[in-house]
Structure 1
Amino acid sequence: MKLVKIIIILLISFTTSFKGISANEFKKIFKDGGKLIFIRHAYAPGSGDPDGFRISNCLTQRNLNIDGVEQSKRIGHFFRQNDIKIGKVLSSEWCRCKQTAEYAFNSYEIRDFLNSFFSQEFSHNKDKQIKELKEYIKNWNGKNNLILVTHYVVISEILNLSVSSGEIVIADKDYNILGRLNTLNN
């Protein structure tokens, strides 16, 4: 019962998107490029990874269901509809992240510093990954917007923020949050 209450509280907190930001202001956020766009993978039922998970085999992983596929397509449509310029799309090696990137943007590059470190099996990678991610961002030229399709734990560690499946968080290179968009019910 306690878990249900926590989930309800979290879901309620995820429904706010771009509070106080008009459509024109929203477009201005992206106008000059140079933004970090963190996207938690789209909806994949369950949590964590199943027993026997293998990073090289999508059949052993939690993957997007039809709702997650549709959510990913909405994410891509959102970027095209608003003419948001994208420099690069980077994805975790996890299949649910690659699927999100594929359905939303068609092309992407894989970077292991975006991988989940939620499970005990991968938790020892956390410090190394975060260091590599921050180094990548530090060296990124920032001319266009950089999309990072990743996991809850990575976004939480970098931005100190809870995010829902498919949520988009826009930040500057100093990790200041400029806006959020929940795509779960849009």
Structure 2
Amino acid sequence: MLPAIARRMMLRVIPLVLVVVVSAPALAQAHAGLPPRDLVAFIREGGYIIFIRHAQTERDYADQVDAVMGDCSTQRTLSEAGWRRAILIGSAFDRLGIPVGDVISSEYCRSWQTAALAFGRYQTNSNLNFEPAEDYTPVQLEAMRSRMSFLLSHNPGAGLNTILIGHDDPFEAATGIYPEPMGVAFVIRPTMAGEFEVLGSIPPDGWNDIDD
């Protein structure tokens, strides 16, 4: 199955799809898909970026065109299952002794709700936001790619992990990887300035299978 951005754009802007496919590998090296247990062993040491797509919402639709930041009534919000999942993710970090530094969320309600429930604190950063469109222009895709790549390549320093909580399209624009389902976590290793390596992912319910 094609990634979501590619599916939406292929019939209308074929050259744009090629830009995403060609430019993303220059920033994100192909990941080996390490198993969750190995990923946790890495992040217990700190020094990684952990991107978490927000937890489940009541409905799944593109709200970024009309969403007003600060007004949750104009946006998708977490479902009851999403609230429970966010709490369980945070509990897994505590149980597994994963050190957490900065917790950075997009300005969308479903993202900071996930951050608050999982980690009890967060700061918002508009660089994690969507562009206000459903069918993105090349300029909009490049803007999301650039902003997200900067965050994914920023070294958190020794002993701590930076948590990014955001959305599917910006992450896909930067990595070429569509993050599904909601609540999935990706472990990122920053390399040099502007570059990073995606080591693998942990599904929302995968934390339960990892021993202390």
The TM-score, its normalising length taken from structure 1, stands at 0.78
Distance 1:126 1:93, change over 3 A: farther
Q: Does 1:157 align with 2:173?
A: yes
- Cα shift readout 1:100-158 (whole Å, capped 9, x = no counterpart): 00110110010000012262498665434443443445554422211100000121122
CA spacing shift, 1:109–1:22, aligned 2, 3 Å = closer
| 2:183 equivalent to 1:169 | no
Structure 1 unaligned blocks of 5 or more: 1-5, 7-17
Q: What's the secondary structure of 1:176's corresponding residue?
A: strand
Counterparts of residues 7-26 of structure 1 (less than 5 Å): 21=35, 23=37, 25-26=38-39
The aligned amino acid for 2:43 is: F
**Corresponding position: 1:178 with 2:202:** no
Relative distance call for 1:30 and 1:88 in structure 2 (3 A) is same
Measure the CA separation in 2 of the matches of 1:81 and 1:73: 12
**Hey, what's the Cα distance between the residues in 1 that align with 2:64 and 2:201?**
29
How much does 1:30 deviate? 1.1
Cα displacement (A) at 1:32: 2.7
Q: How many residues align?
A: 169
2:62 paired residue number: 48
Preserved CA contact (<8 Å) 1:50 1:62: no
Q: Does 1:107 align with 2:121?
A: yes
Pairing 1:127–2:148 present: no
Gaps (5+ residues) in structure 2? 1-6, 8-31
- Counterpart CA distance in 1 for 2:185 and 2:154 is 22
Q: Contact 1:116 / 1:122 at 8 angstroms: preserved in 2?
A: no
- Amino acid across the alignment from 1:173: P
Partner residue in 1 for 2:16? none
Change (3 A) 1:115 1:57: same
Which residue is 1:92 aligned to?
106
Displacement of 1:19: 6.7
In the superposition, relative to structure 1, how do residues 50 and 131 fare at CA in structure 2: closer, same or farther (>3 Å)? Answer: closer
Change (3 A) 1:141 1:42: closer
Greater shift in the superposed pair: 110-119 or 160-169: 110-119
